[in-house]
Amino acid sequence: MYVDELPKIPKIHGYKLRRGIPVAKKLTIGMYHKKWRFHRDLAESSVFVYGKTKRSATFPGPTIEALQGVATHVEWRNHLPKKHILPWDPTVPTAIPKNGGVPTVVHLHAGVTEPESDGSSFAWFTAGFKETGPYWSRSTYRYLNMQRPGNLWYHDHALGLTRQNLLAGLVGPYVIRNHTFERPMNLPCGSEFDRHLIIADRSFNTDGSIYMNSTGNDPTVHPQWQPEYFGDTITVNGKAWPFMNVQRRKYRFRVISTSNARYFNVRLSNGMNFTVVGSDASYLPKPVATESFILSPAETFDVVVDFSSVGVNTTEIEVTNDAPYPYPDGTPTSIPNNRIMKFIVEPKKSPCPPDTSTVPANLIADSDRYPSVVEAAKQATLRRYIVMYEYWSNITGEVTHLYINGKRLEDPVSETPKLGSTEIWEVINLTPDDHPLHLHLVAFQALKIQKLTDLQDFTNCMTQTNDAEKCNVDRHLPTTTSTANNNTKNIVEYEKTWKNIVKIETGSMTTVVVKFDMVENNGPFPFDATAEPGYVYHCHILDHEDNSMIRPFKLLK
Ligand SMILES: [Cu+2]
């Protein structure tokens, strides 16, 4: 543990300068099969990774640095071989090319992106665009970057192969910056002090290859699929349990989990606080200090850690994880999956150069505040019940699949919000685990979490009718809004912003406010968001998404 240094992820600029003015740029980024060393003492692993060239491709892929208001166009090229490096399963809804090859399609997570460039699971393509899925329409994707500065990431989204393609390495960070908006915050900056931490759990075979189960939990139903992939090795920026040398000063870390299914409860071993300044693609209005934060698959926390307050005798601080898997009631963590990485604090007391960065009391000027979620909820014109189900085999008792609203992905679209509207989504989780809910295109925010009472009765009724109103959902909600008995929970302070992931707790109903417009100014999308092939919303546990906790949504004019 802690023998490899944390790699710096290479950067690619998504804009160019013409006479000093930033203008749109077209990038070509390939997907390559190559070898990657995750640990000094482990043989090289076969990976599928993004890069400008095979030589420069990395796990995770390069950070795309974009500017707000300047478009980035990316031609995503698949150079992958005929056969996948990981097992797959044709019995879950899957892209199956007739002539072999690895289907891929890229989604920019948290991107306000036109439907044609959003990476529909059905818009997949194989090497050289030899075969394409039914919704494929273009080889170059258009990212307008009109949204506020924030943290995004790109990853594969191919039908039924998302869990394998990400596990193989098809992930990478994407940042939108706006110096006018961000400079007044004076947060730690520059490539030394503003770093990405891309967390991914993996298991490895003794020959160095990435381990993925080749047999399902109930192979009579799905020969390979299992409900969750958990790796025992925690990698950060492509190294297992790396270390990072830090000076006694403030650092900004953009922490993104690209794990398939593992939740993390991230802590520092000396009990020091993280100061959370943003989550997913939005800043918080004010920084929030916390000793730990729960990081689900696909979620982002943008934090500042101040090493200047570290005692002189402390030279090493571990980043630890104590989230049971599956979350929240699964196996407790233990060595090695309870360790993430280590900071080695330089003995020298004064940093060089001196640390002039700050964490201001207000991150966003009042005039630039995001709409309040309470006010947004009052504007809502529709309430929908979105229900998460898990199904078991009567014979083996094993989980066979998961659905939203009891429907398959290929069933007709039922969520058709009006462009520019705000809706309340009451998201009900009838499964024993938590699920990170993700909607493409839009940002959303949880208002409250209510524990359901008489859960078994309610679940029985819902499994038969899938109608929350007929099943008297109100009678299964806490009778008091008091948070004293823990049946109604407020949202934790460090998540009170417009999110791209909301963690939906087991046995609960989470009230989520969804704004179908540009969240920062209630303005229209800068493209036709009603165009084909529309969008999807899904659980971001990739093994759930693939089988098949995912549904379409289509915006109407
Ligand atoms: Cu899930």
Q: Is the pTM above the cut of 0.95? A: yes
Does the domain spanning 11-177 belong to CATH 2.60.40.420?
A: yes
Interstrand relation of 282-290 and 274-279 (parallel, antiparallel or unpaired): antiparallel
190-360 adopts what CATH topology? Immunoglobulin-like (2.60.40)
Residue whose tokens read 């191919």 = 158
What one-character-per-residue DSSP string does 47-101 give? EEEEESSTTT-BSSPPEEEEETTS-EEEEEEE---SS-SS---TTSS----TT--
What does the DSSP 8-state code read for residue 138? Answer: -
Same fold yes or no, 11-177 and 190-360: yes
Encoded tokens for 317: 């601080």
Angstrom CA distances, 238 to 1, 5, 257, stand at 14, 10, 12
CATH superfamily for 367-553 is: Cupredoxins -  blue copper proteins (2.60.40.420)
> How many angstroms does the Cα of residue 424 sit away from the middle of ligand 1?
20
Q: How far is ligand 1, taken at its centre, from the CA of residue 545, in Å? A: 7
Distance 539 CA to ligand 1 centre (A): 5
Q: Residues with Cβ within 5 Å of ion ligand 1?
A: 435, 539, 541, 544
263 Cα: distance to centroid of ligand 1 (angstroms):
11
296 CA distance to ligand 1 centroid (A)? Answer: 11
Report domain extents, the chain. 11-177, 190-360, 367-553
Beta bridge partners of 539: 437
**Which candidate, 157, 212, 168, 142, places its Cα nearest to that of 38?**
168
Distance 162 CA to ligand 1 centre (A): 13
Residue that the structure tokens 């478009």 belong to: 71
The pLDDT score that the predictor gives to residue 487 is: 85
Beta-bridge mates of residue 31: 50, 78
Burial of 329 (0-12, 13-18, 19+ CB in 10 A): exposed
Pair 161, 139: CB distance under 8 Å: no
Residue 164 sits at φ, ψ, to 5 deg, of -75, -40
Q: Are 546 and 163 in contact (CB under 8 A)?
A: yes
Residues 6+ apart with CB under 8 A from 457: 476
CA–centroid distance, 437 to ligand 1, in Å, is: 8
- pLDDT, position 483: 59
What integer pLDDT is reported at residue 527 of this predicted model? 98
pLDDT at 114: 98
Task: Give me the pLDDT at residue 482, please.
Answer: 59
Give the pLDDT of residue 479: 82
Residue ranges in the chain whose pLDDT is less than 50 = none
Cα(389) to centroid of ligand 1, in Å?
9
Please tell me whether the peptide bond between 326 and the residue prior to it is cis, using omega within 30 degrees of 0.
yes
